[in-house]
């Protein structure tokens, strides 16, 4: 069982993504937060948990991540960094178990009650995404990276790695559908976060309209920080910028 740390940061990825898709960001964040623990979580159905069925509701995602943390012996309250579907999961976690979350950063997330579906998943991507998912393998990973990143000089080595992750831990079609359903139907908690929270987004997000993050920030009265050029995968496009913003957030909320 790990020794409780002053500050443990839990990192949550999005749809059909696993902890290795953070690439170098956990190390970059650790360098900005000396002494903090960085814990990356796979939601049910993804990564090392690919044989578990993904829940059909965001609340089930919360149950899954809490079970994982408990099994590891991790003790909260936690600081949370959550991208896209992970952001919805973090909002529900804070709503259901506010004592377990110390602070939260929500990256490029959206809510069905606040934004229309054509903002939450931009129509220009529909045909291409269907083709990429059908093709699978490295073609799918190239498609995802091309849509979600703007500032990566060469996506090919990353696509190769990600295709390897998918071969090792394949996400089932049923789990893909369940995650899409959970994200598409999740409304929002009745109350906003009771702990300090921050919204971050990429102004160049070509997957989810940046206005979705603006709406989340406005409705809950949260500060919004934007990287003007970065895309949906902010941790891959601007890892140093993101880690610096999170370190400043941690200092403000210490």
Q: How many other C-beta atoms lie within 10 A of the C-beta of residue 230?
A: 26
**Residue-wise burial string across 62-83, b where 16 or more C-beta atoms lie within 10 A, e elsewhere:** bbbbbebbeeeebebebbbbbb
pLDDT confidence of residue 216:
96
pLDDT value of residue 187: 86
Token output for 253: 């909320």
Q: How far is CA 102 from the centre of its chain?
A: 17
Q: What is the pLDDT of residue 4?
A: 42
The stretches in the chain having pLDDT less than 50 are: 1-5
For the chain, domain boundaries: 8-252
Q: Helix, strand, or coil here: 104? A: strand
CATH superfamily membership of 8-252? Alpha/Beta hydrolase fold, catalytic domain (3.40.50.1820)
Instruction: Tell me, rounded to whole angstroms, the distance of Cα 34 from its chain centroid.
Output: 23
From its phi and psi, is residue 83 left (phi > 0), alpha (psi between -120 and 50) or beta?
beta
The whole-angstrom separation of Cα 201 and Cα 209 is 10
């Amino acid at each position: 069982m790990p020794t409780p740390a002053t500050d443990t940061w839990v990192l949550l990825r999005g749809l059909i993504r696993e902890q290795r898709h953070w690439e170098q960001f956990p190390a970059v964040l650790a360098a900005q937060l000396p002494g903090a623990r960085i814990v990356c979580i796979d939601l049910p159905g993804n990564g090392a948990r690919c044989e578990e069925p993904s829940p059909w509701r965001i609340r089930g995602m919360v149950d899954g991540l809490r079970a994982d943390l408990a099994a590891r012996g991790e003790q909260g309250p936690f600081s949370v960094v959550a991208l896209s579907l992970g952001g919805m999961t973090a909002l529900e976690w804070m709503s259901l178990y506010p004592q377990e979350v110390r602070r939260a950063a929500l990256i490029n997330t959206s809510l069905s009650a606040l934004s229309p579906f054509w903002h939450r998943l931009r129509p220009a991507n529909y045909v291409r995404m269907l083709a990429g998912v059908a093709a699978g393998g490295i073609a799918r990973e190239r498609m995802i990276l091309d849509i979600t990143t703007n500032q990566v000089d060469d996506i090919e080595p990353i696509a190769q790695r990600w295709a390897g992750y998918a071969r090792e831990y394949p996400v089932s079609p049923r789990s893909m559908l369940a995650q899409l359903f959970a994200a598409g139907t999740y409304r929002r908690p009745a109350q906003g976060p009771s702990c300090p929270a921050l919204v971050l987004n990429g102004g160049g997000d070509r997957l989810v309209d940046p206005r979705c993050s603006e709406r989340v920030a406005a409705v809950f009265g949260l500060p919004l920080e934007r990287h003007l050029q970065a895309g949906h995968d902010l941790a891959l496009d601007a890892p140093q910028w993101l880690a610096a913003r999170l370190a400043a957030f941690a200092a403000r909320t210490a």
